[in-house]
């Protein structure tokens, strides 16, 4: 649900095609692969980066010319809606008719390349810089035209993660390439968990526009007894941005990422998100969107199922919602709905097994909390999800005048596995608790009066390190 692209007013771009770069010349030729190679050459874009952008947007699926939820078309998700005219801009840059850009994959790829190159030109990338994928980060972030810099970073990071992993989809291949992007102004915009704002521990908080939900006081005003499963028909970052757009008039309480199950909360559970298309069901339910398209099973990863199931289980436990298919339903099952999500590729058997205590999210609930680990008087002031593996928490005790860090596992609960927590007071040596732990790492505590702290931790391969912050 990418919210769209900013049209570059009056700018015309025309570039001669160049030779295919040697890194991709050996890839077996396919029509879509050829389209990427030709478009990358014509607009002097690293070919595999262009592929990665398309993959992050659509998994290289043009969806037969049908638009996404936010009006994006084709493999490169060229958006046309009242706020954004990227499709029209691509037509202007390439002289290809809009109708053909919508339905013809090769034309759509060329249009996407033209828009991306225009973004690079606007940022001043010269011929030398254009050869280095690391220097395209700002242009990639601008291509998404997201609501704010934090969401733009989520979007651009997804592109570079696809580049690092390598791609084999729709007859197009790229080799895995580790690139350290030059994030520039986006370097300080990593998504953060705000414990005071989220109802679900570990969720990232990004507020939806107040035009897209109704303020309420649930469950006092309305009992919450349903959880509704949706599919975004778009990307994770794009869906977040769409819910931030006041013109959308839709939202969900949560959005879950395909690649790792990361959860973003956008509407407080006490408020009524507009997600069900049925006023009664909006009043009684929590809505969870999942990144992807109902026609493409590749979006529904095990990590997504596990991350979402852990969220659903947590919600159900807090509101006393039975963990069954009567109370946990798809959007398609809402009375009067004209939607079909989550669609036939959604594996309800796997999902419900995780919700009801299978191996999703570790299979059990960790009996320990960060407050318990750090001790009496400590309260959570910040936290960061470690994918679906756990959460690291920063706490503070007013009476003790100390910070404390604890990492709480969500996977391999009760089994020893690599887990760590650390706290570093600016100007002092870092204190770390690391080892093979069954439930948590920590507590790591230190006095930090009038000092900034750096904190973080890990569970398995998922790690987090903050900048120096929470000063004073």
Annotated catalytic residues are 289
* Residue of 231, 234, 183, 461 whose CA lies nearest to 339: 231
Identify whether the C-beta of residue 354 lies closer than 8 Å to the C-beta of residue 304.
Answer: no
Q: How big is the CA angle at 38 (ends 86 and 171), to the nearest 5 degrees?
A: 90
CB atoms within 10 A of CB 410: 25
**Sheet strands side by side (includes 226-231):** 204-205, 263-265, 254-256, 285-290, 226-231, 328-330
For residue 136, what are the contacts with CB-CB under 8 A and spacing of at least 6? 45, 46, 49, 116, 120, 125, 130, 181
Contact 203, 193 (CB under 8 A): yes
The Cα–Cα gap between 406 and 426 comes to 19
Q: Which two tokens stand for residue 245?
A: 């757009």
């Amino acid at each position: 649900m990418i919210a769209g692209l900013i049209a570059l007013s009056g700018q015309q771009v025309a570039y001669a095609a160049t030779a295919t770069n040697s890194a991709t010349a050996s890839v077996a030729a396919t029509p879509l692969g050829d389209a990427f190679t030709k478009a990358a050459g014509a607009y002097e874009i690293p070919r595999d980066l262009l592929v990665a952008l398309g993959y992050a947007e659509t998994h290289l699926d043009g969806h037969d010319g049908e638009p996404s939820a936010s009006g994006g078309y084709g493999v490169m998700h060229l958006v046309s809606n009242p706020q954004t005219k990227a499709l029209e801009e691509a037509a202007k840059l390439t002289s290809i008719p809009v109708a053909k850009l919508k339905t013809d994959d090769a034309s759509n790829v060329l249009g996407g390349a033209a828009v991306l190159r225009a973004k690079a030109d606007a940022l001043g990338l010269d011929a030398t810089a254009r050869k280095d994928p690391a220097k395209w980060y700002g242009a990639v972030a601008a291509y998404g035209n997201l609501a704010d810099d934090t969401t733009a970073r989520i979007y651009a990071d997804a592109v570079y993660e696809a580049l690092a992993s390598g791609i084999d989809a729709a007859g197009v291949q790229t080799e895995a390439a580790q690139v350290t992007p030059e994030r520039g102004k986006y370097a300080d915009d990593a998504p953060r968990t705000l414990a005071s704002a989220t109802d679900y521990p570990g969720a990232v908080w990004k507020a939806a526009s107040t035009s897209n939900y109704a303020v309420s006081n649930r469950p006092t005003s309305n009992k919450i007894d349903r959880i509704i499963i949706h599919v975004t028909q778009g990307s994770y970052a794009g869906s977040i941005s769409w819910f931030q757009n006041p013109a959308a008039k839709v939202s969900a309480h949560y959005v879950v990422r395909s690649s790792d199950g990361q959860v973003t909360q956008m509407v407080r559970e006490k408020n009524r998100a507009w997600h069900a298309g049925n006023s009664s069901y909006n009043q009684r339910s929590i809505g969870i969107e999942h990144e992807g398209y109902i026609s493409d099973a590749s979006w529904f990863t095990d990590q997504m199922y596990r991350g979402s199931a852990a969220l659903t289980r947590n919600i159900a436990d807090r509101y006393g919602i039975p963990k069954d298919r009567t109370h946990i339903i798809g959007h398609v099952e809402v009375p009067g709905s004209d939607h079909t999500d989550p669609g036939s590729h959604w594996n309800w058997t796997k999902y419900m097994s995780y919700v009801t205590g299978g191996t999703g999210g570790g299979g059990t609930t960790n009996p320990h909390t960060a407050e318990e680990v750090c001790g009496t008087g400590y309260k959570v002031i910040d936290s960061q999800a470690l994918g679906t593996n756990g959460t690291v928490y920063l706490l503070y005790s007013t009476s003790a005048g100390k910070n404390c860090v604890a990492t709480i596992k969500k996977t391999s609960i009760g089994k020893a596995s690599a887990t760590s927590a650390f706290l570093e007071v600016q100007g002092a040596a870092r204190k770390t608790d690391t080892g093979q732990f069954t439930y948590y790492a920590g507590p790591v505590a230190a006095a930090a009066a009038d000092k900034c702290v750096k904190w973080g931790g890990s569970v398995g391969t998922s790690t987090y390190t903050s900048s120096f912050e929470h000063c004073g």
